[in-house]
Structure 1
Amino acid sequence: MKNELVQYLSVNSLPDFNQFMTEAEKSIEGKISLSLADLHAGTLTSIKTQIRESAIIDKNYERIYYRVNGIHRILRTNHETAQLLIYKDMDEDKFPQDRHIVSFHGTDYISDEMLKAIFDFCYNNSTEKKKVYLQYSCEFCETLKQLKAQGNLERVTVTLPDRRTKLKNDRLKRDKIKHCQFTNRPFVSKREIEFSHIDSMEYNPDRAYDIDNGVIILKKIHKKLLKQGVMNFEGMYNFCKQHGYDLQWAKNFK
């Protein structure tokens, strides 16, 4: 399983993603065997929400991955069966885990290719009604791949790192920060520091560009946060307590 520090981005961060999801659903209705009106609305919402909240993009390889936790909602099965399909029943020669399962913030994700193979297996072993829901799930996931062809992945993978740099510069200018907010150690160059999100882009995409959703800290500490899978306020707070770092940033967090 890949554990190197690869930059993954939440699908929620894609430009105009909400509009994309709305248009995708309209196009999907004509591709499945029943009208959406004949399907349970709560189940469809559960599928869409899981896809929206669990899909991430590997910007280096332009591959989409889906969070294992909760993926049973997309596959229309239970948690235990989904775990068996992913970790036990997949053909290791065809889908080697070190390539098709990645770890991000301490959480496992599977590649879109592996998910498609699991879709096919589930479809061939399901009732007719369940097959329709699987069609719906699969079509949504397949539609996400179109984003790559449209160039949206390139747009967002260029935009987000640039925005992180802008957040750092804007925060330094606004608050006149001259030191690491964890260690209180002064820095000489901007190259020594990073704008580190308190609630990560994956955990809370709505605050990805929020200047107040972050701290200015030394890059080596930022890398430790990523390596340990710290992705929200609670995790960062506990990290600071463990290392004896200043907690003033927590008092100011909105």
Structure 2
Amino acid sequence: MTTAISRRSERRISPVFLGLVAVMTVSGWAVWTDFAANTGVAVFLFVTAAWIVSLCLHEYAHARTALHGGDISIGAKGYLTLNPLKYTHALLSIVLPVLFVIMGGIGLPGGAVFIEHRRIRGRWKHSLISAAGPLTNALLAVALTAPFWLGTMRDVPVAFRCALAFLALLQVTAALLNFLPVPGLDGYGVIEPWLSYKVRRQVEPFAPFGLIAVFGLLWVPEISQVFFDAVHAILRGLGVTELETFLGQEWFRFWQGEPQLPFAA
């Protein structure tokens, strides 16, 4: 009985996560209804809360997959509660990704959950655990863009439409960047089990710098251009225009003033 109660508490959704969902819902409603005095502030709150929610889902996917892969210690660490405060690296998992969004409109989740890999047998399981996070971002991108590619966005308020487009851009960038085979990112975690012990030991010291290196490279204009061309090509395939993502980011940066709309709201 005690064990069953303990397991239920380990998987109970955290009030912190529910609070984030509440902020996302209320601010989203404010954007939709134009209730807020400053639309940009409402967009900022909506996108930031929704982005942190997606970060929680990203890390939950890693944790849940690890649990089914054999790491039964996941529940006791609080990772299944969706509470961002329970993650191993709060700075990498929440603070830096939000700063990346504010600074460059780049969605890049950091490492978060500590997995006891010795409990997990089989290279495919290890690869799947690493892939679960960015796959979640890819699924969220498809879900966020569904109203676009289904053609149901015509009567949606322009600010909400553009905020949703910007959120979709963040999910696409998160999925693409995390699948890069760079130490410290999930893409490297996918291929790591298939590398020799010698190669893994040689690469290990560089893991803490992978995230920073990728972010730094994205500030190189030529690299950034190629990357975002690929991102916008994917979004166009999902029915989202570059103008919509641009305006969504402009609203998000409310401190720069309201964007000038090139079409009727």
Smaller-chain TM-score bracket = under 0.3
Q: Which has the higher strand share?
A: 1
Q: Which is higher, the Rg of structure 1 or of structure 2?
A: 1
